[in-house]
Amino acid sequence: MDRNERLNWMQHLRYADYYIRIEGLAIEDDFNVQQNEPILKFLFGLLEEESAELTQMASLVIKETRFSYEHRPLSLRSPCDAPHHQLLRLIAELNDVPQELADVICKRRPPLINFHHNCSVSCMKGMLKLCNLRFQPPIRLNVDLRYSRDEEKMSFVQKLIESESIERSKIWIEPFDHTELRDIVRGFRIGQANSVQQVGIHCYHIEGIPCEEFSFGNHLSELELKWFKPSHSFFLEAALHKPLTSLQLIDCEDELDDRCISLIHQLLRNQRNLQRVQLTSSWHFGFVLADFAQMENLQSLEISLKNSTDEEMRSLEAILKRNKLSKLTIYSSNIPPDSQRTS
């Protein structure tokens, strides 16, 4: 094919995954964009010295995959975002990114990229090549390291942290024990000014209290704890004097003891910068409603309430009357319908 034929062929490719199933009509069809990638990767490698044509092809991929748009938030079951990451995997085929192509990528940079725990080696290689470009402002990056413990991915994340083109936004981890927890927090300098300052920790495998003192850096701004137990109170203690803007205890497994309750009260009363709080479980968090009623900067609240007392309901009323929340979600089985709000 000549240049125009190749571009015309690329313009008629599919750049979005889809799956269709209509049982009554016995219709079923699906498509995965990665089916096209072997030939696209071949073309990128073949045309590396043809800067203008390579840039034209990359511009088409950027447009069709909506690379410049912000990626969807990471969730527990987020897969590798195949269409969004297609450009990364194609760039991985190049030895160097030509300046003309670099200029286009910098101009059409996305505000946020998610790196998933099951992203491919090509995704990593392409992301590292982006790190060598000069983005202004830097690209925000969320990294999901759950289920990922091999040295290659740990080294990859370390390089991202050191890149001036990347703003480390948030990292998710799921340590198997206290030793791995300590190594990850220390190794990635979580909470320090020159590293990632937002962390989500899946606590499922962590039992007991660490043998040595546990701490985050002094710039920790977000702490998300999933499957939190009373034995994990050392996380709350480590966050007591940090400038948190977000605190999330999600799917708490056991009823909290007095120490955890006291630490939560301290966090809420001493954190003037808190904008987002999520406290959800199968039982009651009404004991903190009075703290929320006094918080000036709170914008988002998700909370589980069961068998609320009259005093707790008055605190909830005060929160609603303050009318400063942009989002309020209440999980409850006993609050009157006119008091349940999700917006």
Mind listing the pLDDT tens digit for each residue in 89-131? 999 999 999 999 999 999 998 888 888 888 888 999 999 998 8
pLDDT at 273 over 60: yes
Q: Is 333 part of any domain?
A: yes
Pairing status of strand 112-115 against strand 18-22: unpaired
Categorize the per-residue pLDDT at 74 as very low, low, confident or very high, splitting at 50, 70 and 90.
low
Whole-number pLDDT of residue 237: 94
Most confident among 14-23, 136-145, 161-170, 192-201 (mean pLDDT): 192-201
Q: How many domains does the chain have?
A: 2
Whole-number pLDDT of residue 338: 47
Mean pLDDT score, 65-86: 73
pLDDT at 58 over 80: yes
Whole-angstrom distance, CA of residue 124 vs CA of residue 33: 18
Whole-number pLDDT of residue 342: 45
* Count of residues making up the chain: 343
Mean of per-residue pLDDT scores for the chain? 87
Mean pLDDT score, 155-184: 88
Q: Is 98 part of any domain?
A: yes
Query: At which of 110, 125, 140 does a domain end?
Result: 140
pLDDT at 149 over 80: no
Residues 236-246 as b or e (16 or more Cβ within 10 Å = b): bbbbeebebbb
pTM: predicted TM-score of the whole model, two decimal places: 0.84
Whole-number pLDDT of residue 341: 44
Q: Is 152 part of any domain?
A: no
Query: At which of 140, 157, 192 does a domain end?
Result: 140
Q: Which two tokens stand for residue 320?
A: 């609603």
| Whole-number percent of the chain with pLDDT over 70 | 93
Q: Is 176 part of any domain?
A: no
Q: Is 321 part of any domain?
A: yes
Categorize the per-residue pLDDT at 302 as very low, low, confident or very high, splitting at 50, 70 and 90.
very high
Pairing status of strand 246-252 against strand 276-281: parallel
Q: Is 260 part of any domain?
A: no
Mind listing the pLDDT tens digit for each residue in 253-272? 778 889 999 999 999 988 77
Mean pLDDT score, 129-147: 86
CA 129 centroid distance within chain:
21
Q: Is 193 part of any domain?
A: no
CA 71 centroid distance within chain:
10
Please report, in angstroms and rounded to a whole number, the separation of the first and last CA atoms in the chain: 54
Contact (CB, 8 A) for 177 and 206: yes
Categorize the per-residue pLDDT at 147 as very low, low, confident or very high, splitting at 50, 70 and 90.
confident
Q: Which residues of 238-275 form beta strands (DSSP E)? A: 246-252
Whole-number pLDDT of residue 110: 87
Among 173-182, 205-214, 319-328, the minimum mean pLDDT is found in 205-214
Is the pLDDT higher at 317 or at 337? Answer: 317
Mean pLDDT score, 295-311: 89
Q: Is 121 part of any domain?
A: yes
Sheet with strand 222-226: strands edge to edge: 112-115, 139-144, 166-173, 198-202, 222-226, 246-252, 276-281, 300-305, 327-332
Q: How far is CA 73 from CA 78, 195, 247, 276, 342, in A?
A: 9, 20, 17, 16, 19
Mind listing the pLDDT tens digit for each residue in 33-52? 888 889 999 999 999 999 99
Categorize the per-residue pLDDT at 337 as very low, low, confident or very high, splitting at 50, 70 and 90.
very low
Q: Which residues of 121-195 form beta strands (DSSP E)? A: 139-144, 166-173
Query: At which of 93, 108, 140 does a domain end?
Result: 140
Categorize the per-residue pLDDT at 77 as very low, low, confident or very high, splitting at 50, 70 and 90.
low
| Structural domain range at position 306 | 288-343
Contact (CB, 8 A) for 343 and 328: yes
Question: Which residue is it, tokens 């940079």?
Answer: 109
Q: C-alpha angle with apex 93: 89 to 99, nearest 5 degrees?
A: 100
Q: How far is CA 111 from CA 55, 57, 106, 138, in A?
A: 21, 22, 11, 8
Whole-number pLDDT of residue 270: 81
Whole-number pLDDT of residue 31: 86
Other Cβ atoms less than 10 A from the Cβ of 41: the count is 16
Mean pLDDT score, 209-217: 84
Q: State the sign of the Cα–Cα–Cα–Cα dihedral 242, 245, 246, 247.
A: positive
